């Protein structure tokens, strides 16, 4: 995600209980990062941020990043929750990086993308989350869990940490540090690098390779060889190797 000359389409899904300060704080943070990035190069990567309010009546266009903000009164429920979960599943299957803060992790879990993976949420919601989603490895000691194609963040104010992580991914550490200084945020004190910073390329359009990438994220504790990946993808070993190299 660090290539130049890119417009990164990012959607923030504002459900009925979303913390408005987080929604528009993220908009401001990412727009400030855009300004700093333009000072370095007119051709540098830029965020194009859209706020999408629920209910979402139709299938969304494809985004590179989709963010679920924290909630003041708890996670969404009922039809709104189902609506958001369906959107998340569609976006993820097409290669979007999914991100959540606080209660935003609940719709992620309902969508199925967190099965057998590690995530975090607000500590006060941990018991409810663990009871509802026992197949998700919940680690509330971590402020940020960066799992490649999914990033989850903890408490209500962790949207700042998520925003800086996205700036660093897309624009690099220099612009991230400039943005942090502008907002008087200490990234060294807040940043918690529990997982690799490797950012897989997911928007390449090869469905078989993308399917295998998502599977790999759930198999990190196992020794996986190219033959295993080829079998899972449904492709021959040589064909898979060629397409994986081209896509990633």
Each residue's pLDDT tens digit, 150-164? 999 988 899 999 999
Is the pLDDT score of 139 beyond 80? yes
Domain ranges of the chain: 7-190, 207-247
pLDDT digits (tens, 9 = 90+) for 62-114: 999 999 999 988 888 999 999 999 999 999 999 999 999 999 999 999 999 99
Question: Hey, what CATH topology would domain 7-190 get?
Answer: Rossmann fold (3.40.50)
Question: Is the pLDDT reported for residue 2 higher than 50?
Answer: no
Q: Return the pLDDT at 194.
A: 36
Phi-psi region of 73 (alpha: psi -120 to 50; beta: other; left: phi over 0): alpha
Q: For the packed helices 173-182 and 159-171, what is the interaxial angle rounded to 10 degrees?
A: 140
Q: Hey, how many other C-beta atoms are within 10 angstroms of the C-beta on 91?
A: 24
pTM over 0.85: no
């Amino acid at each position: 995600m660090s290539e130049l000359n890119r417009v990164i389409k990012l959607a923030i899904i504002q459900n009925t209980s979303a913390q408005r300060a987080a929604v528009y704080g993220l908009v401001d943070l990412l727009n400030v990062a855009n300004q700093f990035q333009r000072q370095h190069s007119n051709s540098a990567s830029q965020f194009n941020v859209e706020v999408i309010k629920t209910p979402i009546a139709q299938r969304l266009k494809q985004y590179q990043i989709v963010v679920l903000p924290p909630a003041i009164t708890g996670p969404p429920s009922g039809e709104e929750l189902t609506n958001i979960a369906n959107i998340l599943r569609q976006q993820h299957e097409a290669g979007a990086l999914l991100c959540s803060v606080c209660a935003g992790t609940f719709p992620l879990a309902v969508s199925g993308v967190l099965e057998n993976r590690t995530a975090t949420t607000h500590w006060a919601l941990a018991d409810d989350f663990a009871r509802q989603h026992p197949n998700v490895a919940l680690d509330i000691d971590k402020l940020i869990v960066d799992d490649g194609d999914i990033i989850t963040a903890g408490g209500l104010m962790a949207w700042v940490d998520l925003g800086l992580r996205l700036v660093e991914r897309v624009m690099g550490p220099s612009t991230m540090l400039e943005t942090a200084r502008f907002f008087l945020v200490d990234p060294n004190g807040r940043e918690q690098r529990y997982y690799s910073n490797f950012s897989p390329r997911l928007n390449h359009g090869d469905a078989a390779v993308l399917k295998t990438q998502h599977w790999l994220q759930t198999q990190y504790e196992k020794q996986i060889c190219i033959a295993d990946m080829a079998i899972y993808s449904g492709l021959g070993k040589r064909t898979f190797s060629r397409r994986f190299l081209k896509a990633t």
